[in-house]
Each structure stands twice: as structure tokens, then as C-alpha cells.
Amino acid sequence: MFHWSPTMGLHKNIDYAEVDNLVHAFQYLQSLDYVGNRKIGIGGFCIGASFAIVAATDPRIRDDVVFVNAFGPYFDAKDLFYQITSRSWIYGTQTSPWNPDSLTLQVFANELIETLEDSENVKSYITST
């Protein structure tokens, strides 16, 4: 099962409720007679990979998840934010220039704006200019 996040794709925001959606989708697959219960896993790309890992540890399904395929997840939000703002890729002691994808930049900006007290006015201003 691979999950596509409408919150990310359409609204360019991260919504932790997506983890619960993954758990419910997994449980739905388990309920289908034609799906082999010992063949169900979760996969994801980028933030979806991170959500897949978190969902797979949920007590409601963790004993039934056969595999997790995570492509490009982030491990530490602090490191991710540093890499986005510095436009650099960091691995161990090595640093290389990095140009984040435009979706990454949009989501990052939206997440920062939402922490502001008057986030709706800030969003309105930014989208109108």
C-alpha cells in the first residue's frame, strides 16, 4: 500500500492525521477477503515515507505490518529544516550544495507561517502579492 496525501499534494501542508489515515487504510486492506493478511506492507516517498514508518509502529497494526518500503524519508525534522534553509545536503561531516524541490520549499514556508499568531492574514498577504 502506498499513500498519497491530499493535504500535501493539494494544500502543501503536513498533517499528522495522515498517519491515522494510513493505519485505517491498512486495517481496511486487512478486512478484505481477497487480500492475504501476511502480505500487507506500507510504503511511501519523502514525507510519506516518514509517515509510513510512524504508522507501521502504531499499536493497532504494528504486529501485522510485513514490510515498510521507505524511499527518502527524513529522520530528524531539525536537520531537515537546517538543510532546507541552508540549501545544503549534509551527511556526516560532508556538506554539499542542495536545491530543494519547490514543493519542499512551499510546504516548509506554509508550516512556518502556520506557527505565527495571525497565520491566515500572512497567507492572504503572501498569496495576493
Q: What angle do CA 46, 44, 58 make, to 5 degrees?
A: 110
| Per-residue DSSP letter, 2 | B
Kindly report which listed range (90-94, 112-116, 125-129) carries the lowest average pLDDT score.
125-129
Stated pTM of the model: 0.73
One DSSP character per residue, 95-113 reads EEE----HHHHHHHHHHHH
Locate all alpha helices (DSSP H) within 42-88, ordered by sequence: 47-56, 77-86
pLDDT in tens, 31-52: 998 988 778 999 988 888 888 9
pLDDT, one tens digit per residue, over 64-94 is 999 999 998 877 778 888 888 899 988 888 9
Rounded Cα–Cα distance for residues 44 and 9 (Å): 14
